[in-house]
Amino acid sequence: QVQLVESGGGLVQAGGSLRLSCVVSGRTFNSYDMGWFRQAPGKEREFVAVIRWSGSSTYYADSVKGRFTISRDNAKNTVYLQMNNLKPEDTAVYYCAADFVTGWALGTQMSEYDYWGQGTQVTVSS
């Protein structure tokens, strides 16, 4: 069983930064592409970013491109989401997810992911 635990959320003013972490345990971390999703109140969960198991490729939602950076440290079984220039519309619960690698495509749909964390709240005040 794979377990994912997020941390690093909090309250920040618009224009500020936060760094989310997600520690993965239970299976070989580098067997998984890792993604971040978010869910705002009253909205569906949406894709934010994904990183290949090797760290060699990343992909971002248009809404966060140029502001957020996803990275991973396979030696620490950890994936990160550095969020800069935060906006009130970034307020959401952020979830990390693990997608067991079966092909070349990076997943952007929830259904492509096998394991999920419990989420961490990010609140951006205006």
DSSP 1-60: --EEEEE--EEEETT--EEEEEEEESS-GGGEEEEEEEE-TTS--EEEEEE-TTSS-EEE
- Give the per-residue pLDDT at 1: 83
For the stretch 77-115, pLDDT in tens is: 999 999 999 999 999 999 999 999 888 899 999 999 999
Lowest mean pLDDT among 27-31, 35-39, 93-97: 27-31
Distance of CA 24 to the CA centre of its chain: 12
* Closest C-alpha among 29, 61, 27 to residue 47: 61
Q: Which tokens in the block code for residue 33?
A: 């592409």
pLDDT digits (tens, 9 = 90+) for 52-70: 999 999 999 999 999 999 9
Question: Does the pLDDT of residue 27 top 80, yes or no?
Answer: no
- Residues 6 or more apart whose CB falls under 8 angstroms from that of 27 comprise 2
